[in-house]
Chains A and B, each alone.
Chain A
């Protein structure tokens, strides 16, 4: 089973940096350059956002990047075209993240097959509920060797965390606090207690913390409690700065890691 996520988490248990960006933003054809530049700067895992018109779990930054990406003409078909030969250029683990409806219209079987052909390692669909996944799609994801990554939150009961852990593979996406994406209130005591609680559960999947991770401090703080952390909105904002993609990505990643 050649899944780059498994290899990554086996090799590295601490300080993993995962970055999210919205495919098709800032420009339609930036996808490959952003991926390669992130890898060059030492990012361990990349989440490629598939834009949706009504991103319920997202705050204003990703709402806006999604709207621009759609206006630029991004679709799942287009994204797969852009990623067709990506595995000739990089072996960085790639996870697709988006909402269920566009994937459903594309066709789940076709989506799984195509993602697998390209060399995608995992998929995050926040509005595909666990039991629906298990009943309808788990077999398909396993057949195509795609990790299905689920979210948990501070409100998720222990029993459900265990269930999610047993049904998923790759990693568990720990939403840092009750919020949509892009809030930068910091990781308070409530979040810290939740991270410790989950760490003590000794889950089979590694945990990666996301939502609200936006700078060096919040990244380091999240990394104390999990295998790594995910930065989304703050990176999407960085892509909008003046200057080249290359320069923006380099200086943003440096600001997190150094």
Chain B
């Protein structure tokens, strides 16, 4: 079984490029050139220098002693939270902005949920001197205020998406509409492994640096490149795609994708797409999608803006259907509990998204000698107001 995209842009039956003709030339231009550009020595040289000196890679693989003791297994955290801008998102935006420049584009657009991708895009646009417009759901603008401020500080224009649930899905719709209206000079930096082919593959390749580093770091620390488990949260699924990438063809490594259950999978307020979704088309890609029987996209819910998405990348839909990855989920409350636990046991405040991955540690029932790598995709600064409110620190 192949877990990589085929030449037509599909992972099994998922993927493809279901875009209106208005987007065809742009998507086709990208499809024809992305692999060639990404493999150019000049491109790689520029990318590697930026990843090292600007992003701060490699990010550490940290053995978490107190977390390990608590769950009686060996827990490693891949510290993507220590990247410049505070999450894994910049691995992708650096790559795509270099690509956009080589395609001669002058104007960059992006969608964002939690604001991490928006900040990472605004950052690389400042670095490259490019105009930057970020679409963000009105609800998310409110719940991720620090990231909105950062984007503005970086010179980006933040445009509220006011349709639908006013979250990530709607921000993506608006970004796509912008691209339709500006087909010549604009490049759309998609933030996750979603959208029409070649985006899911391209973003996965830019994020694959995560698992490439894990292999080398684990070899050094444990004498093996292969952990027993790799655990990552999944909204669209870019950090999971990066953490899984170099393990896809290693059957002994269990891949654990953790979705946001919101208030519970059966509560009607959830974003657990693998359970609640079925085969459909969203944002140009055939994938698992939360929808009504009539094919209308339903509104997902999660406390975490970055996981609040009714679909999942086509790679993940394929990993789910082929059972290559095990899909688990964590509720809002379980994620919040995991935030506090990591903070108090290891002195690391994680992002709400990443906390969903931490929250399944107990249910994993790993053996004492097992190696569990958790991708700590982002830091929790942006979520502090939620944490203060939830844990009542603001009243003390």
Point out residues on A near B: beta carbons under 8 Å. 52-54, 56-57, 59, 63, 67, 70, 75-77, 99-106, 126-129, 132, 150-153, 155-157, 160, 175, 178-180, 183
Contact = CB atoms under 8 A, between A and B. Distances in A.
Given A102-B295, A126-B20, A179-B180, 8 more contacts: A67-B163, A70-B296, A106-B295, A151-B20, A153-B21, A175-B22, A178-B181, A183-B181
B177 interface: yes
A100 B18 contact: yes
B294 A56 contact: no
Nearest to A175: B22
B56 interface: no
Given A54-B173, A101-B281, A180-B177, A75 B294 contact: yes
**Max count, chain B CB within 10 A of own CB: residue among A100, A102, A128, A175:** A102
10 contacts: A57-B22, A57-B177, A76-B294, A100-B18, A101-B280, A129-B17, A153-B25, A175-B22, A178-B180, A180-B177
B187 to A, nearest CB: 15
A155 B25 contact: yes
B6 interface: no
A256 to B, nearest CB: 25
Given A54-B173, A100-B18, A105 B25 contact: no
A178 B295 contact: no
A86 B251 CA distance: 58
Contacts of A53: 164, 296-297
A105 B294 CA distance: 6
A121 B322 CA distance: 40
Interface string B255-293: 000000000000000000000000111111000010101
B16 A180 contact: no
B282 A54 contact: yes
Interface size range on B against A: 20 to 34
The 4 closest A-B pairs by CB, nearest first: A105-B295, A102-B295, A126-B20, A151-B21
A129 B284 CA distance: 10
B184 interface: yes
A156 B293 contact: no
Interface string B11-43: 000001111111011000000000000000000
Contact of B169 (A54, A77, A99, A128): A54
Could you say which of B181, B182, B279 has the most chain A C-beta atoms within 10 Å of its C-beta? B181
A194 B293 CA distance: 41
A175 B163 contact: no
Contacts of A57: 20, 22, 177, 180
B145 to A, nearest CB: 26
A101 B290 CA distance: 12
Contacts of B184: 155, 178
Contact of B21 (A54, A132, A156): A156
B25 A157 contact: yes
B183 interface: yes
B176 interface: yes
Nearest to A103: B295
- Most chain B CB within a 10 A radius of its CB, from A99, A127, A160, A175: A127
A20 to B, nearest CB: 15
A102 B294 contact: yes
B20 A101 contact: no
Contacts of A178: 22, 180-184
A252 B305 CA distance: 44
A77 B294 contact: yes
A127 B294 contact: no
Nearest to B8: A131
Contacts of B282: 54, 101
